[in-house]
């Protein structure tokens, strides 16, 4: 697995979100439309933009990006 750490896309090294002690399931979310990033750097920019969008979401009161892991078309895990 090619894991891309948070610092690679401009997020703080650790998340302020509480850690999960257990999980009851998995939710898979997709962007909802085809997206062709080209270079992998575009994936990192997209993830940073998603985090910014989540932090601006006052309805859900997110403290960080609302995903545990993201995979990109280059086969990397962010
Ligand atoms: Zn990528």
- Mean local confidence (pLDDT), 60-77: 93
pLDDT at 20 over 90: no
If you measure from the C-alpha of residue 45 to the centroid of ligand 1, how many angstroms do you get, rounded to a whole number? Answer: 10
Segments making up each domain of the chain, as ranges: 37-78
If you measure from the C-alpha of residue 36 to the centroid of ligand 1, how many angstroms do you get, rounded to a whole number? Answer: 10
pLDDT per position as a tens digit, 28-44 = 988 888 888 899 999 99
pLDDT at 41: 96
pLDDT at 30: 85
If you measure from the C-alpha of residue 53 to the centroid of ligand 1, how many angstroms do you get, rounded to a whole number? Answer: 19
Locate tokens 């601006």: which residue? 56
Burial grade of 47 (CB within 10 A; 0-12, 13-18, 19 or more): buried
- Mean local confidence (pLDDT), 47-67: 95
∠30-32-35 over CA atoms, to 5°? 90
CA–CA gap between residue 77 and residue 48 (Å, rounded) = 14
pLDDT at 8: 94
Please give all residues whose CB falls under 5 A of ion ligand 1, grouped by chain where several chains appear: 40, 43, 72, 74
Cα separation values, 70 from 58, 59, 64, Å: 22, 22, 14
pLDDT at 1: 87
């Amino acid at each position: 697995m090619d894991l891309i750490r948070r610092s690679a896309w401009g997020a703080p090294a650790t998340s302020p979100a509480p850690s999960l002690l257990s999980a009851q399931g998995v939710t898979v979310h997709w962007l909802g439309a085809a997206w062709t990033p080209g270079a992998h750097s575009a994936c990192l920019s997209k993830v940073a933009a998603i985090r910014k969008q989540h932090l601006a979401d006052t309805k859900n009161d997110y403290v960080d990006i609302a995903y545990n892991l993201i995979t990109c078309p280059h086969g990397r895990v962010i």
